């Protein structure tokens, strides 16, 4: 038996990286998956974003585990589009128990990071998009009357700004920090507001994770140009980055009965970065 048998999870940003890892890991524990991703480029982001083929691979990996998945291409910045994904998934599975507001971008690389659009894109995707993802799912969770679990992907940058030195300042980097701090407030508001409905809400705060967001040429160039940023982002434990499954395992804990009384917490999975 899996820890999430019979549950249905709704995951944003599921085409690759952490989102794909979460979909696969939750499927391993018995959950069925409702997934979506934008699957095209955002102009302020210097590295390649996910593709439709990436989302198809997530579908293949989940189905390989004999779990069901409804996957759609949708923009997390478009509330109606996010609602449509929920409706399609619930029509297939009949319930919804878990929300992983995971979609994220990092427009702090390259010249476009200094344009005002980079600020708007970070806030729209990682603050408004988190709000839209949760709000689209909440009516179904509430109607089910079984409670549920919401996990918001923040960042170590949502608890500390040690790496945001002046030399690394850009509209994109400031937007990233603002969004990652902002979702902590959302998390606490949802934890308080929906605790009586047995809906738990927590945020997770990774250090650098080995995903295409940072494992790319543009990010390597950024670190070379801003060595003080890299120096400030050194983990306490002897590991440069953690793996996506390390975050997924923490999410399984938060969403399963193992974490049934855990709500309103900011959980770092950061190899000691923040305390360092």
Q: What is the DSSP string of 87-138?
A: HHHHHHHS---EEEE-------SSGGGGSHHHHHHHHIIIIIHHHHHHHHHH
Q: In angstroms, rounded to a whole number, what is the distance separating the alpha carbons of residues 267 and 203?
A: 6
Q: In angstroms, rounded to a whole number, what is the distance separating the alpha carbons of residues 13 and 34?
A: 11
Q: In angstroms, rounded to a whole number, what is the distance separating the alpha carbons of residues 256 and 101?
A: 17
Q: Which of 38, 47, 176, 190 is catalytic?
A: 176
Does residue 176 have an active-site annotation? Answer: yes
Contacts of 251 by beta carbon, 8 Å cutoff, 6+ apart: 22, 25, 26, 100, 151, 204
211: tokens are: 């995903």
Q: What is the dihedral of CA 167, 42, 154, 186, to 10 degrees?
A: 110
Please identify every residue annotated as catalytic: 176
């Amino acid at each position: 038996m899996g820890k999430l048998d019979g549950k249905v999870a709704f995951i944003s940003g599921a085409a690759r990286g952490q989102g794909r890892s979460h979909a696969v890991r939750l499927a391993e524990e018995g959950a069925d998956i409702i997934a979506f991703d934008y699957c095209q480029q955002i102009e302020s982001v210097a590295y390649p974003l996910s593709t439709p083929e990436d989302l198809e691979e997530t579908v293949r990996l989940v189905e390989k585990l004999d779990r069901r998945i409804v996957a759609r291409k949708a923009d997390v910045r478009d509330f109606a589009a996010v609602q449509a994904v929920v409706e399609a998934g619930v029509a297939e599975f009949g319930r919804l128990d878990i929300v992983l507001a995971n979609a994220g971008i990092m427009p702090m690389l390259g010249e476009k990071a200094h344009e005002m659009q980079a600020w708007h894109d970070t806030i729209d995707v990682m603050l408004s998009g988190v709000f839209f993802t949760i709000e689209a799912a909440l009516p179904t969770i509430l109607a089910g009357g079984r409670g549920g679990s919401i996990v918001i992907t923040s960042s170590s940058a949502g608890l500390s700004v040690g790496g945001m030195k002046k030399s690394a300042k850009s509209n994109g980097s400031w937007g990233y920090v603002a969004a990652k701090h902002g979702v902590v407030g959302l998390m606490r508001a949802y934890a308080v507001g929906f605790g009586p409905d047995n809906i738990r809400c927590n945020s997770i705060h990774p250090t650098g994770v080995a995903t295409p967001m940072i494992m790319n040429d543009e990010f390597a160039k950024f670190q070379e140009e801003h060595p003080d940023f890299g120096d400030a982002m050194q983990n306490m434990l002897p590991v440069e980055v953690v793996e996506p499954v390390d975050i997924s395992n923490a999410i399984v804990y938060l969403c399963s009965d193992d974490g049934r009384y855990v709500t309103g917490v900011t959980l770092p999975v950061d190899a000691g970065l923040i305390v360092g």
